[in-house]
Amino acid sequence: MEQSFDLIVIGAGPGGYVAAIRAAQLGLKVAVVEKESALGGTCLRIGCIPSKALLEASERYHQAKHGMARFGVKIGAVDLDLPAMMSHKDMVVKANTKGIEGLFKKGKITRFQGHGKLVGNGRVTVTSARTGESSPAPESLKAERILIATGSKTAMVPGIEVDGLAVGTSTEALSYTQPPGHLVVIGAGAIGLELGSVWSRLGSRVTVLEFLDRILPGMDREIAAEAQKILAKQGLEFRLGTRVKSARTIAASAPEQAGVGTQARVETTQARVEIEGGEPIVCDKVLVAIGRAPNTENLGLEIVGIQTDPRGRIPVDSAFATSAPGVYAIGDVIAGPMLAHKAEEEAVACVERWLTGYGHVNYDAIPGVVYTHPEIASVGKTEEELQAASIAYKKGSFPFLANGRARALAETEGRVKILADAATDRILGVHILGPRAGDLIAEAVAAMEFGASSEDLARTCHAHPTLAETLKEAALGVHGRSIHI
């Protein structure tokens, strides 16, 4: 029998679940179709949340092993209990995914487990995730509005054979049963650097192969270069300008030594010319982190007349409406940065626009954070973007080395950089490499949301001694007025 709702959301990641909750708050009768048994999508189950649990845990291990003596804390033998570290991660994931279940109950949101597919006229069918002879007949749902929030998956390229054995994605790298002797990471983006850091801290040799001549494409080049130096000092080996042309699982040369039956073989070429990149690398694990691709297969897009763009994304207008009446899309399946918080903003804007007439996302003020140690965070324009757009800017920069709190923490690497319009002083971009950069960037985002000038930030009283004083000092630096440098 067909069930009727005001809204059907397909996908329960940060885009979909937030849209469902907000719509329920505004009085809609909401259904959510999700194929996984746990809610929360990639972010909560196999992305942001478990990676942060492992980053935190591995950093503590590393600190206990190498970083406490300077504080006068003597620790005896430090051992890694990887299963315990993994259960910490699993508990964190469970608490988060169960939390969403609770919020769904509170909002009286009806949940359907299975694969949702558009079949036209406001209808969605839900097929059991395990398709087969015995699977129950598909359920049929109907609603005035349908929201696609199906997210993304690891991008694949020919030649790189992901089989989940020695060659895997972040999903496998979040659950290795022992630190790989040698881990090769393909791609120096956020995923590669975060998970590369985790396993490096836990004892693996980590080699990062990157096509471009720099790490973290999209981030400010100067900050990325400084981050690369710090990460290299921590033990990550970078091979830039290197294109991976093949990676595949092979039988381990000495299984009893490797402790596992498989290894991987990686072949590279130089990025710019088809010159062989030297001897193939034989390693224990390969983490493929070369970007993500939208999840749009078997969604019935062709049935309702939606054509994806050349990158597989769903085109939408400023109200997140697709070309099919009553069908909307948000998050990683549409254009823009593939970030959980971007999807959440779009979710709220999309739903509120239906019911209040307002709803807007400021794409110029979406922060990006890479949770390495130290963290790397940015919002707004990079220097390269401003130069490319011929926008005259002034720059203020302040090192954590000159910040009292950072010295007390023994975390003095990195800097804050503020870029302000040369004519109006309006803040155009803020880039931070340093301790808790991911938290510090929030002040910069709020300042930009309010259209602040560097002078506004410079004249705002910051508590002393805090890491946040570096922002004030960098803002003072825009006009050459920093006090502590």
Which residue of the set 66, 360, 464, 484 is catalytic? 464
Q: Which residues contact 212 (CB under 8 A, 6 or more apart)?
A: 188, 240, 241, 271
Residue 321, amino acid: A
Sheet holding 182-186, edge to edge: 167-168, 285-288, 182-186, 205-209, 237-239
Q: Based on CB atoms, which residue is closest to ligand NAI, 7 or 377?
A: 377
CA dihedral 278, 281, 287, 288 (to 10 degrees): 40
Please list, residue by residue across 444-463, b when 16 or more beta carbons sit within 10 angstroms of its beta carbon and e when fewer do. Answer: bbebbeeebbbbebbeeebe
Minimum CB distance to ligand NAI, residue 215 (Å)? 7
Minimum CB distance to ligand NAI, residue 248 (Å)? 14
**Residue number of the CB atom closest to ligand NAI:** 189
| Residue of 281, 221, 202 whose CA lies nearest to 245 | 281
Minimum CB distance to ligand NAI, residue 377 (Å)? 9
Minimum CB distance to ligand NAI, residue 287 (Å)? 9
The Cα 112–Cα 276 span in angstroms is 50
| Residue of 403, 484, 473 whose CA lies nearest to 436 | 403
Q: Tokens for 440?
A: 């510090």
Minimum CB distance to ligand NAI, residue 170 (Å)? 7
Q: Based on CB atoms, which residue is closest to ligand NAI, 346 or 469?
A: 346
User: Around Cβ 27, how many Cβ atoms within 10 Å?
Assistant: 9
Burial class (CB in 10 A: 0-12, 13-18, 19+), 302: exposed
Q: Based on CB atoms, which residue is closest to ligand NAI, 186 or 365?
A: 186
Helices (H), 178-220: 190-201
Residue 424, amino acid: T
Pairing of strands 285-288, 167-168: parallel
Q: What is the DSSP string of 413-427?
A: --EEEEEEETTT-BE
Q: Tokens for 146?
A: 């349908």
Q: Based on CB atoms, which residue is closest to ligand NAI, 127 or 228?
A: 228
Q: Based on CB atoms, which residue is closest to ligand NAI, 210 or 344?
A: 210
Minimum CB distance to ligand NAI, residue 309 (Å)? 16
* Contact residues for ligand NAI, defined by CB under 6 A: 157, 186-192, 194, 209-212, 217, 243-244, 289-292, 337-339, 368-371
Q: Based on CB atoms, which residue is closest to ligand NAI, 222 or 421?
A: 222
Q: Based on CB atoms, which residue is closest to ligand NAI, 164 or 255?
A: 164
Minimum CB distance to ligand NAI, residue 302 (Å)? 26
Q: Based on CB atoms, which residue is closest to ligand NAI, 291 or 312?
A: 291
Helices (H), 116-262: 170-173, 190-201, 221-234, 255-258
Residue 202, amino acid: L
The Cα 94–Cα 151 span in angstroms is 20
CB 30 within 8 A of CB 10: no
Q: Would residue 464 show up in a list of annotated catalytic residues for this protein?
A: yes
Minimum CB distance to ligand NAI, residue 263 (Å)? 19
Which residues form the catalytic set? 464
